[in-house]
């Protein structure tokens, strides 16, 4: 990774394919409920399922984790979070998720991407350690 280019972790292709299939099934059920009965609750519930499915699919395609030079950005459809690299001590894999240990003792659990958690952990841990290496050269 060069100093100018951010490292982007996006959702894995297989995860996107599964999300498209799940959205299609959820929308099919939603449309069936909306048009199968005169009951307004079924119509509202069916429309809700369609909206939920499409929203989840959009979130799958938008979500990403971006390692920049001095910060990490976690992007999803609902929110964007930015953390400084100097806030973290290390990274580990726990339960299939990459967890970043903060200097205040708290843990930041990164969202899953469907890719190798160990590979992502190694990249992020090297990114954190590069900060510590720069601090020792400055001192």
- Tens digit of each residue's pLDDT (9 = 90 or more) over 84-107: 999 999 999 998 899 999 999 999
Residue 78 three-state SS? coil
Domain 65-138, second-level architecture: Roll (2.30)
Instruction: Specify the 3-state DSSP secondary structure of 34.
Output: helix
Place of tokens 């400055």: 138
For residue 106, the model assigns a pLDDT of: 94
Instruction: List 109's β-bridge partners, or say none.
Output: 99
CA distance 15 to 114: 6
């Amino acid at each position: 990774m060069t100093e100018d280019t951010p490292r982007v972790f996006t959702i894995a292709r297989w995860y996107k394919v599964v999300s498209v299939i799940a959205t299609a099934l959820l929308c099919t059920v939603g449309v069936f409920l909306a048009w199968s009965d005169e009951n307004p609750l079924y119509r509202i519930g069916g429309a809700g399922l369609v909206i939920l499915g499409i929203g989840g699919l959009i979130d799958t395609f938008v979500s990403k984790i971006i390692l920049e030079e001095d910060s990490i950005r976690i992007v999803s459809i609902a929110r964007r979070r930015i953390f400084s690299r100097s806030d973290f001590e290390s990274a580990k894999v726990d339960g299939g998720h990459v967890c970043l240990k903060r200097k205040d003792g708290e843990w930041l659990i990164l969202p899953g991407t469907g890719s190798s958690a160990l590979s992502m952990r190694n990249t992020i841990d090297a990114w954190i350690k590069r900060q510590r290496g720069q601090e020792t050269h400055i001192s």
